[in-house]
Amino acid sequence: MNIIDELTWRGAINQMTDEAGLRKLTEEKKISLYCGVDPTGDSMHIGHLIPFMMLKRFAAAGHHPVVLIGGGTGAIGDPSGRKTERQLQTMEKVQANAAKLRAQFAHLFGEEDRITFVNNADWLSKIDVLTFLRDYGKLFSVNVMLAKDVVASRLDAGISFTEFTYQILQSMDFEHLFSTYHVQLQIGGADQWGNITAGTDTIRKIHGSTAEAYGLTIPLMLKADGTKFGKTAGGAVWLDPEKTSPFEFYQFWLNQDDADVVKYLKYFTFLGQEEINALAEAVQKEPEKRAAQRRLAEEVTVFVHSKEALAEAQRITEALFHGSIEELSERELLQAFGNMPTVEVSATEKDVVNWLVDAGIYTSKRQAREDVAHGAVTINGVKVKQAEEIVYPHKNSHGKFVVVRKGKKKYTLAKIKQ
């Protein structure tokens, strides 16, 4: 199957500058293509995954991906999708973020001989203002730039000259990669269409109207209910395990709605049509088994983290489902309960009723005593049977935590002051 046909089946294409030309090009030879990300933060989130998984799909088809980290453009700020000016970061912060993003990409793509990493600071920082205005500024019509959605949407609120020139800088990137690395295709989100087409136009103005340069964008990712994909009550779902633990990451995918899960299997996994179609059928016939959600969660967690991280996330999930958390490690306890209600306590080794009240988990000893008597309280995964039982830290927490459960699902993590 041609790579364009596969992407179309997966619903992963929003617009192409020349579908017939790109299809012909990818059938005739192996091409180089790129996607860029600005280091405005020190981690990507799952919204970034889609275009870079596109690069991975092209790589699987024998094409060569180039990842551009915007050490130069990140110092300026892309106005796309924003209503106000971006707060500029220090160059030190931009460089530190760029290093972290490169490490994430290296993890996702594996062997570095299968991918080229570039940083546009390497060429943009060497261009003086007169060269910029004479060699590049002359190629751009202000009228055309004003008509681009990314700029037009900001005119009422106002846009600085700095952000206004962003599309010129991105066009310079495409032209530089076209000339230096023979890159013929740029991929980006739907909001990058104006910047991408500015790049293909620039290449043709410099290299002639027959220059083969193409652009492809992915659709804006929305859930079935029309809301934005990738957000949770706690904020964005990050690829950095220190920001979003592998357990939380796994749970995000596991809890996707039946109406969305097949679309996400096509977007976010490398499973083939036959298996995805079988999972789609399972969603219709046996939705209660959530086979598609489990497969989705497994595939994306392994891709972003590792098989070991998946096993850990599944172990925590199983322990929470059955309430059997007594064997979890300190690391697993933090993943499972780090974002749940937390209290600080000065000590343990006190009878459970007094300890629960002193910790603020209960407001009255009477209610605590009643719940204990009815078997509604567990400490560190073990049901409390008598009000006189003594509370100790979880055996694997090195004296740091006590995990309390009230009823079936209401957990509290008590952190012991050291």
Binding-site members are 34, 166, 170, 231
How many residues are present in the chain? 418
Residue 35 backbone dihedrals phi, psi, to 5 degrees: -140, 145
171 and 199 Cβ atoms separated by less than 8 Å: yes
* Binding-site residue set for ATP: 231
398 and 386 Cβ atoms separated by less than 8 Å: no
Please spell the DSSP secondary structure of 161-223, one letter per residue. HHHHTHHHHHHHHHHHHHHHH-EEEEEEEGGGHHHHHHHHHHHHHHH-TT---EEEEEPP-B-
- Give the span between the Cα atoms of 19 and 201, in whole angstroms: 16
* Binding-site residue set for L-tyrosine: 34, 166, 170
Residue 144 backbone dihedrals phi, psi, to 5 degrees: -70, -40
For the chain, the farthest-separated pair of C-alpha atoms sits apart, in whole angstroms, at 86
| 412's tokens | 């509290």
Those residues with Cβ within 8 angstroms of residue 273's Cβ, 6 or more apart along the chain or in another chain: 9
Q: For residue 209, which amino acid is it?
A: S
Contacts of residues 201-207 at CB distance under 8 Å and 24 or more positions apart, as own/partner, are: 201/171, 202/136, 202/139, 202/140, 202/171, 202/172, 202/174, 202/175, 203/174, 203/175, 203/178, 205/139, 206/139, 206/175, 207/175, 207/178, 207/179
| 147's tokens | 């008509």
159 and 151 Cβ atoms separated by less than 8 Å: yes
Which residue in the block uniquely carries the two structure tokens 């980006």? 188
| 363's tokens | 């407001």
